[in-house]
Structure 1
Amino acid sequence: MAVKGDETRARLIEAARTLVEAKGYHGTGLNEVLVLADAPRGSLYHHFPGGKDQLVGEALATAGREVDGIVGELATKAATSRELVLGLLDALADRMVAAGYAKGCPVATVALEVAATNDDLQSICGGIYAGWQRALADALQADGHAAAEAEDLAATVLALVEGALVLARASRSRIPVERTSRRIAKLLDVD
């Protein structure tokens, strides 16, 4: 019985993640989540007694781990932090294009909507971004950048990546990503 319950829980998280990323926190209704997950209403409250916020929080955490996985995989292949960042931006852009621009950054939509009004979800979003920034800073330090410079560059690069994805999604065009890739390449070019 636990396996079936775990599968239902996973379907609910994935459905919430898909809908929230495409439609935002406020645009996603629990009835939609239940339909997409093909789950009975009772299972929602059984697995997520904290309601929508708990479900969305777990969906965000899952999305954050997906990007962590992309960064981890790229880190094993990339010879430099520059290659890692450009690979990450390309992977996120590919994901966005494949979804018909319904997906961008899996965290940004919720972060923009609820950062000022929902402390729990803001904290989750902030933690995910801090983790990504830390991973980028670590890669930059491994390339020889001083700690303070690596922190600044990581924050800048993360802001550029997020902005590029928002602009690309808004214009339904990969052009903002391509332009940002060129700028990041120059910013992180090793002399």
Structure 2
Amino acid sequence: MGAKGEETRARLVRATRDLIEERGYYGTGLNDVLAASGAPRGSMYFHFPAGKDEMVALALTEAGQDIGALIAGAAESGEPPAHAVRRLLEALGDRMEESGYAKGCPVATVALETAAGHEQLRRTCADTYQAWQDALAAMLVRHGRDSAGAEAAACAVLALAEGALLLSRVAHSRTPLDRAARAAELLIRADTA
């Protein structure tokens, strides 16, 4: 595929990412993706012959990698885990606030809508969440936590973050996210003390 084809494919994926995060899976039609991307209809079918689920799965994977990079950056900062997690949640809050609370977690909206009926998307969401949890757990292990305790704490931090993003998005306020960041700090400090 040439540079123009790659550019068109990237525009389709970027438009899909933005739209599904704001509107969800069912609120995002193929015509919406075409309009937002400026791509011709034939390009969508050329690049994604398996249809909407293939395009959404790729968009979710890329979005998951972006958040994964935020987690890795926080983990590699050398800060104590509690501080790194706070920075991560602040970055997610900044991202949400910059979108005017139109965006929260790039995976959650689709996960809630499709987990029961779209196996490919359920797997993509599950794999993304597992990668985030594994990265958080690895950070805790590097700072002295045993593996089982690190996995449990990472799961709790991820659940706090996901719930807080939802509550903050609905309230149009960072307060739930700020409170979750404080709770995550307390959990990690208690867990690593």
For the aligned pair, the TM-score class normalised by the smaller chain equals over 0.9
Equivalence for 1:30:
30
User: For residues 171 and 78 of structure 1, what CA distance do their matches in structure 2 show?
Assistant: 33
Equivalence for 2:145:
145
Equivalence for 1:100:
100
1:2-13 to 2 correspondences below 5 Å: 2-13=2-13
Equivalence for 1:171:
171
Secondary structure of the equivalent of 2:103? coil
1:71 counterpart = 2:53: no
Equivalence for 2:85:
85
Report the residue type matching 1:71 in the other structure: I
Secondary structure of the equivalent of 2:14? helix
**Identical amino acids, percent of aligned pairs:** 49
User: For residues 69 and 139 of structure 2, what CA distance do their matches in structure 1 show?
Assistant: 15
User: For residues 170 and 34 of structure 2, what CA distance do their matches in structure 1 show?
Assistant: 28
Equivalence for 1:60:
60
Equivalence for 2:134:
134
RMSD: 1.0
Distance 1:100 1:78, change over 3 A: farther
Equivalence for 1:117:
117
How far residue 76 of structure 1 moved from its aligned partner, in angstroms, is 2.5
How far residue 181 of structure 1 moved from its aligned partner, in angstroms, is 1.2
Secondary structure of the equivalent of 1:27? coil
Does structure 1 retain, via aligned residues, the 8 Å contact 2:75–2:136? no
Secondary structure of the equivalent of 1:188? helix
Secondary structure of the equivalent of 1:104? coil
User: For residues 70 and 178 of structure 2, what CA distance do their matches in structure 1 show?
Assistant: 19
How far residue 185 of structure 1 moved from its aligned partner, in angstroms, is 1.3
How far residue 83 of structure 1 moved from its aligned partner, in angstroms, is 1.8
User: For residues 21 and 95 of structure 2, what CA distance do their matches in structure 1 show?
Assistant: 12
Structure 1 alignment gaps of length 5 or more = none
User: For residues 78 and 109 of structure 2, what CA distance do their matches in structure 1 show?
Assistant: 29
How far residue 78 of structure 1 moved from its aligned partner, in angstroms, is 3.8
How far residue 143 of structure 1 moved from its aligned partner, in angstroms, is 1.2
How far residue 119 of structure 1 moved from its aligned partner, in angstroms, is 0.7
User: For residues 171 and 117 of structure 2, what CA distance do their matches in structure 1 show?
Assistant: 28
Instruction: After superposition, give the CA deviation of every residue in 1:7-46 in whole Å (9 maximum; x if it has no partner).
Output: 0000000000000000000000110100110000000000
1:44-59 to 2 correspondences below 5 Å: 44-59=44-59
Bigger mean CA offset, 118-127 vs 63-72: 63-72
Query: Which ranges of 4 or more aligned residues in structure 1 deviate by more than 3 Å?
Result: none
Report the residue type matching 2:157 in the other structure: V
Secondary structure of the equivalent of 2:76? helix
Bigger mean CA offset, 70-79 vs 86-95: 70-79
Structure 2 alignment gaps of length 5 or more = none
